[in-house]
A and B are shown apart, each in its own frame.
Chain A
Amino acid sequence: MTAPVHEYIPETTKPFLQEVMERSGQMLTACYQCRRCAAGCTVGDETGCFTPNLLIRTVVLGDRETALNNELVWKCVSCYTCGVRCPNDIQTARITETLKKMAKERHAQPLQPKVAHFHDAFVESSIRWGRVNEMEFMGFYELKNALQEAKVNNYEAIVDELKEQAKLGLAMFKLGRMHFGFQMAKGRKEVKALYKKAKRKRAASSDANA
């Protein structure tokens, strides 16, 4: 007898599905695989066969590894097209957003590290000053990318990336679309307090899940 491809392991299958449903607020078990989401997915050409319905199925089957690391999770642009068309009101973007967070918590190497770096750098900048300073934030984003590439000695990639950004930066500068004044909110203490609370909540819920 051959071993089944998908084995039901109650200790892992169920909690994974439950965690994704709880954190994304989406009823994944309602999906009946009609593929309306797949038909309209913005990044359909870019993700190949890994469509939203397939992602949902992967989570339902408890395949954590595939669910956390596939093209769709990291290429989904959160356009919410699939969600407004789903007959069961399932917002796949909220699922991909949840899976991105879960991947980070497990310190898994994301398939598209730059996507993770971008959102991290953005939020860090907004917490630091209460407002996002585009140039500072882009600097930290590129720094994160560069550190990652430096780890594998890929210095060519660093240079290429910086060249591209410098080209765009220069064009923006010429058009007066680069801003040199520094933005901040006096109430950034409150913003920091909200951030700390968010962290406490995350710690509490990961203890509960452990």
Chain B
Amino acid sequence: MEIAYYPGCSLQQSSALYDVQSRRIFEELGVRLMEIEDWSCCGATSAGKVDDFLAVALPARNIGIAEDAGFTEMVIPCSACYSRTLVAQQRMADDTRLKEDINEEIGKKVRGNLKISSILESLLPIVTAKDFKPKVKRQFRELKPVCYYGCMLTRFPYTVPVPDRVENPRGMEQVLDALGIKALDWNYKTYCCGASAAVNDNQTSLSLMSRIMKDAVARGANCFVVTCPMCQMNMDAHQNAFCEKNDIEARLPVYFITELLGAAMGIAPEELQLDRHFIDGAQLLKESEKDERKEK
């Protein structure tokens, strides 16, 4: 099976590991991710703060490219790109004049029949199918993750069909369930890390992240699992800073869902670029497996 794939800017740069992991695990699952040709930036969360037309027009160009190539589904692992693209599609569906206005400027026109999927929407039917079980080669029973969804996966600035529960999503827990990993219940699933505020309003962002961390630690978690490269970068790169500032001793690795999925399917840590974390994630994975061997 082949589906269209939109990596977006951050997966080509600071979060390139997420791109590598996504391609690799989908391949392992028998799906080929076809990167759409000559895609452009979706405008992320910034375009909407600078110009409304642009916020729809930028993702629209990519939708047009995918539709023109004949795809019916496009997966977007980055939560921000996913949100912007889904909202743009809905806004054009609700406002044909806006759609025509945009189509006038782009070569590959938007028609409006592309299914835009988050990474969880694409993964869930595959990992919950019966034939997935044999693919799980390693068990990380000692892993106690909290699933951190952040803002962009379930809350949108515009009415769109939301594929999960808005305030208590379950998608990541379901994927982990399929791997035999039990995620912990907690309160900060959909809390905001501050996103770009980590750069432009650092103190606010550090304070938001410290609250997320405190609840995770209080619940006894030993790692975070995320789908959003912005959440991953923030919670990982700034963890020492917000922990030191708030007297938190623990340090928790922040895994992409693709990392745990890949490792469980037996893909080598180097191939998954597990060494690119600020807070080391390789050691914990090893330990959570070792403990289990001892049990046997």
Q: Which residues of A contact B (CB under 8 A)?
A: 23, 42-43, 45-46, 75, 77-81, 83-84, 91, 93-94, 97, 100-101, 112, 114-115, 117-120, 122-123, 126, 130-134, 138, 141, 164, 168, 171-172, 175-179, 183, 185-188, 190-191, 193-195, 197-198, 201-202
CB distance from A44 to the nearest CB of B (A): 11
Selected from A91, A114, A134, the residue in CB contact (under 8 A) with B200 is A114
B51 adjacent to A198 (CB under 8 Å): yes
Cα of A23 to Cα of B277 in the assembled complex, Å: 41
- In the assembled complex, which residues on chain B have CB atoms less than 8 Å from the CB atom of A45? 207
Given A42-B208, A126-B44, 5 more A-B residue pairs with CB atoms under 8 Å apart are A42-B192, A123-B43, A131-B41, A190-B107, A197-B53
- In the assembled complex, which residues on chain A have CB atoms less than 8 Å from the CB atom of B52? 23
B12 interface residue (CB < 8 Å to A): yes
Cα of A138 to Cα of B46 in the assembled complex, Å: 14
CB distance from B43 to the nearest CB of A (A): 6
A101 adjacent to B204 (CB under 8 Å): no
Knowing A46-B204, A123-B43, A126-B40, say if A198 contacts B157 (CB, 8 Å).
no
- In the assembled complex, which residues on chain B have CB atoms less than 8 Å from the CB atom of A172? 14, 237
CB distance from A93 to the nearest CB of B (A): 6
- In the assembled complex, which residues on chain A have CB atoms less than 8 Å from the CB atom of B40? 126, 130-131, 185, 187-188, 190-191
B48 adjacent to A97 (CB under 8 Å): yes
Q: Which of B39, B40, B52, B157 counts the most A-chain CB atoms under 10 A from its CB? A: B40
CB distance from A37 to the nearest CB of B (A): 13
Is the interface on chain B under 10, 10 to 19, 20 to 34, or 35 or more residues? 35 or more
From 40 to 90 in chain B, residues with beta carbon under 8 angstroms from any chain A beta carbon are 40-41, 43-54, 57-58, 61
CB distance from A27 to the nearest CB of B (A): 13
- In the assembled complex, which residues on chain A have CB atoms less than 8 Å from the CB atom of B196? 118-119, 122
Q: Using an 8 Å CB-CB cutoff, how does the interface string of B94-110 with A read, 1 for contact, 0 for none? A: 00000001101111000
Q: Which residues of B contact A (CB under 8 A)?
A: 9-10, 12-17, 38-41, 43-54, 57-58, 61, 101-102, 104-107, 151, 155-158, 166-167, 190-192, 194-197, 199-202, 204-205, 207-208, 237, 273, 275-278
- In the assembled complex, which residues on chain A have CB atoms less than 8 Å from the CB atom of B15? 177
Secondary structure call for the A interface: helix
Cα of A123 to Cα of B101 in the assembled complex, Å: 20
Knowing A115-B201, A191-B61, A194-B58, say if A185 contacts B39 (CB, 8 Å).
yes
A101 adjacent to B49 (CB under 8 Å): yes
- In the assembled complex, which residues on chain B have CB atoms less than 8 Å from the CB atom of A42? 191-192, 208
- In the assembled complex, which residues on chain B have CB atoms less than 8 Å from the CB atom of A193? 105-106
Which residue of chain B lies nearest to A132 when distances are taken between CB atoms in the complex? B9
Cα of A88 to Cα of B97 in the assembled complex, Å: 27
Which residue of chain A lies nearest to B53 when distances are taken between CB atoms in the complex? A198
Cα of A43 to Cα of B101 in the assembled complex, Å: 37
A112 adjacent to B200 (CB under 8 Å): yes
Cα of A78 to Cα of B199 in the assembled complex, Å: 15
- In the assembled complex, which residues on chain B have CB atoms less than 8 Å from the CB atom of A77? 151, 192, 194-195, 197, 204-205, 208
